[in-house]
Amino acid sequence: MGSAAAGPAFDAAELRALLDGRWASVREKVRASLRENDLANADDLDTESHRARTLEQLRLLAKSGVPELGFPVAQGGGGDQGGSVVSLELLAGNLSLMVKSGVQWGLFGGAVVALGTERHHERYLRDIMSVELPGCFAMTETGHGSDVQRLRTTATYDETTQEFAVHTPHEAARKEYIGNAARDGRMAVVFAQLITGGNGNTGAKSHGVHALLVPIRDEAGNPCEGVRIEDCGRKAGLNGVDNGRLYFDRVRVPRENLLNRYGDVAEDGTYSSPIDSEGKRFFTMLGTLIRGRISVAGTAGSAAKLALEIALRYADARRQFDRPGGDEEVVVLDYLAHQRKLLPALAKSFALHFAQEELVQALDEVQRGGDERAQRELESRAAGLKAVTTWHATHTIQTCREACGGAGYLTENQLAGLKADTDVFTTFEGDNTVLLQLVAKGLLTNYKDQFDGIGTLGLAKFVADQFVGAVIERSAAHSIVQRIIDASNKDDILDRGWQLKAFQDREEHVLDGLGRRLRKANKDNAFDVFNNAQDHVLRAARVHIDRLVLDAFVAAVDRCRDPRNAELLDKLCDLYALSIVEEDKAWFLEHERISPRRAKAITQAINTLCGELRPHAVDLVEAFGMPRQWLTAPIATGAESARQGAQIAHDRANPLP
């Protein structure tokens, strides 16, 4: 049935090149490194051994040279943040290692790079790259995970000793879920409310959240004085990562340990910063840490691809129920219901892949010197894609588990681990619901003239005040999209121009309506007006991201040269676009954007596209180039097809009497 035996009916090399994109050589380097090192996941070990093995693998990975990519050239790094995101993505088969890498090099190392200055870079970065200095990123507190501007840990400067005293005032302020804390970390970047003039209890002033380097363990691995460390214990997944809790009892660190790029304290306690507003300063700091969020989106996308490859390979071999009028059992992927479960998810994986590639390019451009507007657009897009891609992963991996039946529940077939490990992706690096509100806030700045109270009413804070008047509008693919729309005069659901216009029109309409609703807010009813519209706010963000993702997919189809590839990508793009319209069919009907007749035609078109793509499904998912080391599930690597073959042969030789 599948075309795998005969080879793909398209130019696989060109498609791989298109998918590998600008960082193709990084991808190849990581694939090679995975062939050479044993980085297999160790989920079958007990917690302590699993953590130990993950640390060993982290050191192996350090030696491969890959993790240096994202670090400054001055300290021997590659100066390529985009490459570093792409390389993390490919660790999807060992997510504990991916997250441990993300903590060590992305969060801990990344914070030292972005928030520190040369003295920190010179002193620490080499040891961070080599894992000589394992570290933590201690931002989240038990009481504050989403609203991190309200963290309660304090760092009070004492000019008499030129030290900061880092302190946890109550249990809700302990640092929580901190990766590398329970077992391996020696130092932590601790985020705390910075207070100067506080040692005499007069003239104390707080300057908002800043980050400091705090040693947490000595060379022997014992907690430093005043530092209490607890183990978060077992989690649903990612048990190779040692998450812990940190409590500080007036722990003293030298003044120089303040990561002082955006705010500094002089010996005499004088505070200075290049950014006046406390809020803007903090969100500027957060903005420099955007890479972590982008990595999570990329890795979630990879995990979904791996799950889809397992489920599609199984569905292409597995048979169940006799074919009416035939003498063989039906291959499961021939059932429409099964295609409906897996193929729209495959199309969406392609769409999100191209959107992620654009996002990483935007990161690269901003890193090489973008203006504030480019930075704000990057943040909005990273937030939105992180939410959409991690939900896609959660949903798709769940669907793949169910599509593989009982076999999907066995650990050996990988889906259980992928599910458990990725589950927290919708939460960490920003809770998805909060992130979507942040996207919406960015969009609403277009409307700020209409309700200019948004800043003063406290509403801005409420939506998460990351955006300072930015206008988020255009996708990178804007000109291609506009050309297609301009060229289109067809009113046909398979016409790309119609699809693009449908997405654009929906986005504009939802946002307009939201603007009108929120305009009613005044000083007294601000919370209620906003809260009553919260579902509308989330929808505005979602339809915006949907549109950006479609734009990215359309641009990728436009880059494709081989006509067979273009034809298949075209169908995948149709399937993505129409699936999104179908999911939200109620909106399109309610707003009379489509007629009932057209609504039915969309459902039928999706069924037809599923049938047309079905013979290519396995080859298409393989085109993503997930490292072959990660594909270990017996049901996806020959066991099921061998069994089905043996059964068919046996049945022919031994029919039941």
Distance CA 467, CA 458 (A): 14
Given the complex with a copy of itself, which of 365 and 582 has the nearer CB atom? Answer: 582
CB of residue 185 vs a copy of itself: minimum separation in angstroms? 18
CB of residue 173 vs a copy of itself: minimum separation in angstroms? 7
DSSP state string for 67-133: GGGGS-GGGT----HHHHHHHHHTTTT-HHHHHHHIIIIIIIHHHHHHH--HHHHHHHHHHHHTTSS
CB of residue 334 vs a copy of itself: minimum separation in angstroms? 7
Given the complex with a copy of itself, which of 32 and 236 has the nearer CB atom? Answer: 236
CB of residue 118 vs a copy of itself: minimum separation in angstroms? 31
Q: What angle do CA 541, 547, 550 make, to 5 degrees?
A: 140
CA 249 to chain centre: 34
CB 338 within 8 A of CB 428: no
Q: 223 has which bridge partners?
A: 217
Distance CA 3, CA 106 (A): 40
* H or E element, residue 324: none
Given the complex with a copy of itself, which of 443 and 459 has the nearer CB atom? Answer: 459
CB of residue 590 vs a copy of itself: minimum separation in angstroms? 4
Distance CA 101, CA 58 (A): 7
CB of residue 93 vs a copy of itself: minimum separation in angstroms? 17
Pick from 362, 395, 289: which is nearest to 551 by CA?
A: 362
Given the complex with a copy of itself, which of 450 and 603 has the nearer CB atom? Answer: 603
Amino acid identity, residue 301?
G
Given the complex with a copy of itself, which of 121 and 348 has the nearer CB atom? Answer: 348
CB of residue 219 vs a copy of itself: minimum separation in angstroms? 30
Pick from 366, 409, 473: which is nearest to 114 by CA?
A: 366
Given the complex with a copy of itself, which of 121 and 183 has the nearer CB atom? Answer: 183
Name residue, tokens 């300290």.
Answer: 75
Pick from 194, 189, 147, 209: which is nearest to 172 by CA?
A: 147
CB of residue 489 vs a copy of itself: minimum separation in angstroms? 26
Given the complex with a copy of itself, which of 18 and 436 has the nearer CB atom? Answer: 436
230 SS3 class: strand
CB of residue 601 vs a copy of itself: minimum separation in angstroms? 11
CB of residue 434 vs a copy of itself: minimum separation in angstroms? 9
Given the complex with a copy of itself, which of 7 and 324 has the nearer CB atom? Answer: 324
Find the helix packing angle between 496-518 and 563-583, rounded to 10°. 30
Tokens encoding 431: 């809770």
Given the complex with a copy of itself, which of 132 and 171 has the nearer CB atom? Answer: 171
Name residue, tokens 């927290």.
Answer: 424
Given the complex with a copy of itself, which of 511 and 555 has the nearer CB atom? Answer: 511
CA 541 to chain centre: 16
CB of residue 579 vs a copy of itself: minimum separation in angstroms? 13
CB of residue 609 vs a copy of itself: minimum separation in angstroms? 13
Alpha carbon distances (Å) from 469 to 46, 85, 454, 508, 617: 50, 28, 11, 19, 44
Pick from 638, 555, 494, 203: which is nearest to 357 by CA?
A: 555
CB 155 within 8 A of CB 299: no
Given the complex with a copy of itself, which of 527 and 563 has the nearer CB atom? Answer: 527
CB of residue 584 vs a copy of itself: minimum separation in angstroms? 8
Given the complex with a copy of itself, which of 450 and 525 has the nearer CB atom? Answer: 525
CB 310 within 8 A of CB 633: yes
Residues 6+ apart with CB under 8 A from 185: 134, 135, 136, 178, 216, 217, 244
Query: Among the residues of 464-562, which ranges form H helices?
Result: 478-487, 496-518, 526-532, 534-559
Given the complex with a copy of itself, which of 64 and 199 has the nearer CB atom? Answer: 199
Name residue, tokens 């948004």.
Answer: 454
Given the complex with a copy of itself, which of 71 and 137 has the nearer CB atom? Answer: 137
170 SS3 class: coil
Residues 6+ apart with CB under 8 A from 336: 607, 610, 611
CB of residue 181 vs a copy of itself: minimum separation in angstroms? 13
